[in-house]
């Protein structure tokens, strides 16, 4: 198309978009050409922002998204994405300014309240976070995302009945949504109702529209089967996942967990090491490894791994709980007191 129409902005836009989806760094060059040929192509500016962001060129990404917004000031999604980009850089003040502007420009949208609630959460202001999420459900009572976020908030606050109520409201809008069914299942699990959660988790697998969504729900179902004392079914599902998708994150997670639950610790640890190599930026494999070491009563190794995790996440609750278990099992009063502080 470019050879036939070398001055066609749309051709460069679609080329750049495709290149960006494939992770090709030439996407920036193609999209730059698109906006040079047609500076009013707001879609090209938007995709250029994402291509620049993926190359860690954050300042340029901000400017590109702002250009898209200037061309389409009534596009809510563009403004949300600019705020998201700023939030990802921990630029809370700048992101809040965008969200507050959205409240004025789009008075019936829940999005700015959800965004501001995320900022409040990052700043450990749980009171404000809850207020903003409740406002989001009032401003737009049909916002599934607002109800799902509020369900998660109540779960974190251990207001479990409220969490289930909000998750059920979200599910009511789209009963065939994999995300909504999964959210209700998680709310029920957190409320110590694992048997009630299982049918919703099964539905989330059936309704999944992409592989990652399906595998994530299956991984959770493996864990749930163990909770419900269906150990053989858990192992069967984990083996099926790993056989089909041996390099996929959730398949590795499910299989390694199943092995450790059957006390095949070394096999599980080896699989977690594979996962760490394939997904080096992930930290959940380390947490699973830590839990496995504690279960295997390899306390010295558990303490060493916990220290490494705490360097990156010094207030991680799961890690401190594992250290508390280790301290209790080894009768180490000093370590137990330290863990209690956190």
pLDDT, tens digit (0-9, with 9 covering 90-100), for 155-212? 999 999 999 999 999 999 999 999 999 999 999 999 999 999 999 999 999 999 999 9
Considering the chain, what percentage of its residues have pLDDT values greater than 70?
A: 98
Residues in the chain: 342
pLDDT of residue 3: 52
Burial of 297 (0-12, 13-18, 19+ CB in 10 A): exposed
Give the integer Cα–Cα distance in Å for 190 and 163. Answer: 9
Encode pLDDT of 196-255 as tens digits.
999 999 999 999 999 999 999 999 999 999 999 999 999 999 999 999 999 999 999 999
Give the integer Cα–Cα distance in Å for 318 and 174. Answer: 33
Name the pTM for this structure.
0.81
pLDDT of residue 4: 45
Give the integer Cα–Cα distance in Å for 210 and 215. Answer: 9
Burial of 32 (0-12, 13-18, 19+ CB in 10 A): middle
Any idea which of 50-54, 130-134, 143-147 has the lowest mean pLDDT?
50-54
pLDDT of residue 2: 52
Question: Are 120 and 128 in contact, with CB atoms under 8 Å apart?
Answer: yes
**In degrees to the nearest 10, what's the CA dihedral of 119, 124, 126, 130?**
10
Can you tell me the mean pLDDT for 294-313?
A: 93
pLDDT interval class at 1 (50, 70, 90): very low
């Amino acid at each position: 198309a470019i050879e036939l129409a070398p001055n066609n902005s749309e051709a460069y836009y679609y080329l750049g978009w495709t290149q960006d989806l494939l992770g090709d760094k030439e996407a920036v060059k193609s999209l730059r050409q698109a906006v040079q040929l047609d500076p009013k192509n707001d879609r090209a500016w938007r995709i250029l922002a994402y291509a620049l962001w993926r190359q860690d060129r954050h300042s340029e990404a901000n400017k590109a998204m702002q250009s898209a917004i200037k061309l389409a000031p009534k596009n809510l999604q563009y403004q949300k994405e600019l705020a998201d980009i700023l939030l990802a850089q921990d630029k809370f003040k700048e992101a809040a300014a965008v969200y507050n502007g959205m409240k004025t420009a789009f008075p019936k949208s829940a999005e700015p309240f959800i965004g501001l609630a995320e900022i409040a959460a990052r700043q450990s202001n749980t009171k404000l976070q809850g207020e903003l999420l409740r406002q989001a459900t009032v401003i737009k009572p049909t916002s599934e995302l607002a109800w799902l976020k509020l369900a998660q908030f109540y779960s974190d606050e251990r207001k479990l009945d409220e969490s289930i109520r909000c998750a059920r409201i979200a599910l009511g809008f789209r009963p065939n949504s994999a995300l909504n069914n999964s959210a209700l299942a998680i709310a029920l699990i957190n409320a110590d109702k694992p048997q009630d959660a299982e049918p919703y988790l099964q539905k989330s697998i059936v309704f999944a529209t992409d592989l990652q969504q399906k595998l994530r729900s299956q991984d959770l179902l493996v864990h749930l089967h163990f909770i419900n004392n269906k150990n053989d079914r858990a192992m069967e599902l984990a083996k099926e996942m790993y056989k089909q998708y041996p390099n996929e994150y959730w398949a590795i997670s499910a299989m390694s967990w199943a092995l450790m639950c059957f006390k095949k610790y070394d096999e599980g640890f080896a699989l977690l090491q594979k996962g760490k190599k394939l997904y080096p930026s992930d930290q959940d494999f380390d947490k699973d490894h830590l839990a496995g070491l504690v279960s295997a009563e390899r306390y010295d190794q558990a303490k060493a791994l916990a220290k490494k995790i705490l360097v990156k996440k010094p207030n991680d609750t799961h890690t401190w709980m594992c250290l508390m278990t280790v301290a209790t099992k080894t009768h180490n009063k000093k370590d137990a007191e330290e863990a209690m502080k956190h």
